[in-house]
Each structure stands twice: as C-alpha cells, then as structure tokens.
Amino acid sequence: MPIVLRMLSATNHFKQSHIALRRIFGAALILVTFSFGVVPPAGAQDPVTVVELFTSQGCPACPRADELLGELAEREDILALSFHVDYWDYYGWADPFAREVNSQRQQRYLDQRGLPYVYTPQIVVDGKWQASGNKPKEVIANILAARSQQDGHVSVGLERLSEGLVRIRVPETDARYRGEADIMIVRFDDKHVTEVTRGENRGKTIVNHHVVRLMRPVSRWNGEPVDLVISLQELDGADPAYCAIFIQERGQGRILGATSIDMRAVLPRG
C-alpha cells in the first residue's frame, strides 16, 4: 500500500512557508506563486532546472502539489514535469494519465536515495534532490541548491524542424562532461482538468500541469558534441503540446542540462 505524507494544518503550513521565504529572499524578488513562496530570478547563464512531480489523481494529498507544479511551470528557467504513478489506481479512481513506467522511474529514485518507501506527492529536482511536494519551502531550497551547482552542467539545444521532426544539439564548447549519460526526450501536455467521481478525491476538480505522456532515451552521451534529428512519429509522440530534452547521468542520476519547445507554435514559411 502506498504511503502518503500527511499535511498537518495545511493552510497554516503554506502560510508559514511563504512568510519564511520572504524573510530569506526579500519582498523585491519575483514571486513564483502567490501562496507557496519565492524563487529568485535566474541569471542569463543559469541552466534550466528540471522539477519532476510524482503524483496521482487518486492521492488525497496531491492537489496542493499539483498546484505548486502549475506555478513552477510558468517559469522559463524551470522545466516542470508531472509524472502520474499507477499504484493509486486500485483505491477507487483510475488516473487516466497514470503509467507503470512513471512508477518505475520513481522507484529508481527511491533505490538511489535509499528512501524507505515511495510516496506521493514527491518532487525530485535535477535528479538529485527530493522533497515532499507539500513542503514548498524544501522544494524551493532544492531548486536553489540545483541552480548553485554549476559543475557539469551542459547546454542543450532543441529546434523544431517540422510538425514531426526536432533537432537536438549539444555544442562542442559545452561538451566537457566525461562520463556516461542518456539524452532523454519527453512529450507532455499543457494542462488537464478532471472531475474526479470516485476514490479519495471524489467530488473534486483536479488540474494537472505538464502531464508527461511519453519519455524515452534517444541516444547515449559521453561528452561529445551532438547534432541529431529525431522523428517524433517514430516515437509515437507527435501529439502532445510540448517536447523537451534533458541529459541525465546513467542509472537515472543527476540531470546535466535541459530545454523544451512548444510544438504548437506556427512554423515559419519558406
């Protein structure tokens, strides 16, 4: 049975987190949310930070974390991804976006970090830092920690060539990594609104942002320059609104670089 972290006095918890973060960072900083706290604006050279939320529409503790991810998804310096796990599907409501592969990805993070159990909502930042999705202060602290760790970060380029083709590039000047990593492609939707009629969240309207529909490795990477064209149709992933690329150390380790594009944008003619 999945173990879910419980929120004690949730409203007060979020208010206290907001007050504490304003004391730390100051009122002049850009707000990432009206209720969750603040993240300082990234510098021009700061890499994109990947924030993975493991969630389920059947989890009673997840809606607030879903809301937090939605706020983070508004930032250009954060790649926010919602991975819906399937182990809640047996408790009254089958999440339409749940996939076994997402549960397996979360399990690998658990094995790496030596955690005693999987839980929802869990947020993993850049493949290295984890916290409950209902503890925004810890989530934001992890984002800042990831941003401060510049060693090993690489630039990743992603260009839309046509309706079904994208080009991935890792410039030679940034290819300094000397290890084993995977280039991962992710397709995700913008937003889904679901009326839940059964289970723990019965009667609630749940909004999920950046719902992952497909994720696959497209190439191994060992630090060499990359210039690769990928057919999305061959990956069965041509429909979702967004396409993202990130480079992650083998064995689902640290994420070294990431970027994304909106596949709905009108392509230039000629």
Q: 169-191 pLDDT, tens per residue?
A: 998 765 566 789 999 999 999 99
Q: Is the pLDDT of residue 34 over 60?
A: no
Structure confidence at residue 113 as a pLDDT band (50, 70, 90) = confident
Classified as helix, coil or strand, 13 is helix
- What would the pLDDT profile of 71-98 be if each residue is shown by its tens digit? 999 999 999 999 999 999 999 999 999 9
Concatenated DSSP letters for 167-181? EEEE-GGG----S-E
Question: Does residue 244 contact residue 79 with C-beta atoms inside 8 Å?
Answer: yes
- Look up the pTM and report it: 0.84
In single-letter form, the type of residue at position 107 comes to Q
Please provide residue 148's backbone torsions phi and psi, each rounded to the nearest 5 degrees: -75, -15
* Domains of the chain from N-terminus onward: 10-262 (3.40.30.10)
Q: d(Cα 262, Cα 98) in Å, to the nearest integer? A: 23
Higher pLDDT, 234 or 248: 248
